[in-house]
Amino acid sequence: MEVERRRGAAAPRRVVLLADCQSFYASVEKAERPEYKDKPVVVAGDPERRSGIILAACPIAKQFGVTTAERLGDSLAKCPDLVIIKPRMQLYIDVSMTITRIYQSFTDLVEPYSIDEQFLDVTGSLHLYGTPEALARMIQARIQEELGVYTRFGIAENKILAKTACDNYAKKNDSGIYVLPKEHLRETLWTLPIGKMFMVGSRMTRHFNAMGIDTIGKLAETPLEKLKQLMRRKFGKNSDINAELYWRIANGIDDSPVRPGTHEVAPQSVGHMMTLPRDYARLEEIKVVLLELTELVCQRCRGKGFMGHVVSVGCMGADYDRPSGFSRQMKMADPTNVTNQVYRAAVELLVRHWDGMPVRKVGVSLSQLSADDEYQLSLFDRDREKTMALERATDAIKRKYGDATILRAVSITPAGQAQHRARKIGGHYK
Ligand SMILES: [Mg+2]
């Protein structure tokens, strides 16, 4: 397709919008409950616990310093009058789909990127509406009126720049709309610190800074070959592809089309709970089940194209009349669906919180899910790509031949449940 386009007449420059819903879950809740209109509102994963995590904070709550992903206890310290709402994911998914349909009334090229962000390619229909800003204003007003949700629009000639325009500019100006022409990168994007670049987290910021690259402009103007050399020194030869991706992002180069409907809206969490055939009283045994559950959860996430940022582990005692056990969650350094990484965090939770009492039920889940299409570019363990390739391969084999065909060695120990479980559902595989 790419080749065809180059061979043919020069393609018209595209007009791509990234539309983002402000404080999405909190906005939906406030629209549903007018009595909270002027109150600081958050949606929290586990409202009964101070360790629950803030999934969304409304602008009033943010004025108190409340931020997404922090613990509820920390938010309450900053804002004691906080209104705390339990998430209603099905409602948010429904509203997100209603918003998709509104976007689709302006163009058929709408690609949901996450539950509250969607790409629109309006190249073909723009002539009906005037300028891109005028179109964005029209959509913005309609969603505000119909759903009470405020949307912000980054506008550019491709997805990367539209996303960049939204995150760095549209979210911060009064209109919520920002056009970022590629010709103006030098005066805009390139002046920003490297940490503001799409896909660059705190870890990569440190690495780039150590290479002497502290602005997006410096990265953009580093010759690609030079950048590859710099990154190879740090991450090895496999980093060439990432070097090129970063370099392209900094230069605003992105040919990827807006693909309608390529994205499933992320569920709130993916988890598995298992009742054990007997009490497990030794840490080593519980760890085996924990690994199996983690593997299942990660496998499901990989299959659906999600990764999770928060891992939760729950263990329940055998005596249901005298409840013992714990349920705790922690945020990992980066979102992931790699079994070993999630397992490491899960074990940490187990070791820290298990009271030593016999366990009968174990559960693992991943939440704060996001799409995993970006993660080849965003993460750099030298072994990560190999690990991912291996996991994709084993997932495929399990899908085809059943879960028991490939088991981790520990699953064959007496504590393992994977073999037994796979047999139980084995009839469904062919
Ligand atoms: Mg948002």
Model pTM greater than 0.75?
Answer: no
Query: Please, which pLDDT band fits residue 276 given cuts at 50, 70 and 90?
Result: confident
Residue 174 counted as an annotated binding residue: no
Q: What is the mean pLDDT of residues 4-30?
A: 82
Sheet holding 325-336, edge to edge: 269-280, 359-371, 306-317, 325-336
pLDDT number for residue 220: 97
Residue 235 has pLDDT above 60, yes or no: yes
Give the domains, in start order, of the chain with CATH numbers.
10-180 (3.30.70.270), 189-250 (1.10.150.20), 269-426 (3.30.1490.100)
| Cα 265 to ligand 1 centre (Å) | 14
- Listed range (48-52, 110-114, 319-323) with the worst mean pLDDT: 319-323
Residue numbers annotated as active site: 117
Question: Per-residue pLDDT tens for 129-139?
Answer: 999 999 999 99
Query: Please, which pLDDT band fits residue 369 given cuts at 50, 70 and 90?
Result: confident
| Cα 394 to ligand 1 centre (Å) | 35
Identify the residue whose tokens are 């879960």: 403
| Cα 267 to ligand 1 centre (Å) | 16
Sheet holding 41-44, edge to edge: 54-57, 41-44, 83-85
| Cα 117 to ligand 1 centre (Å) | 6
The whole-angstrom distance between residue 103's C-alpha and the CA centroid of its chain comes to 22
Residue 20 counted as an annotated binding residue: yes
| Cα 150 to ligand 1 centre (Å) | 9
Residue 376 has pLDDT above 50, yes or no: no
The residues with which 120 forms a beta bridge, in sequence order, are: 17, 110
pLDDT number for residue 18: 97
By the 8 A CB rule, do 64 and 78 touch?
yes
For residue 10, give the amino acid letter.
A
Closest by CA to 119, choosing from 17, 206, 27, 215, is 17
Question: Per-residue pLDDT tens for 287-297?
Answer: 988 998 999 89
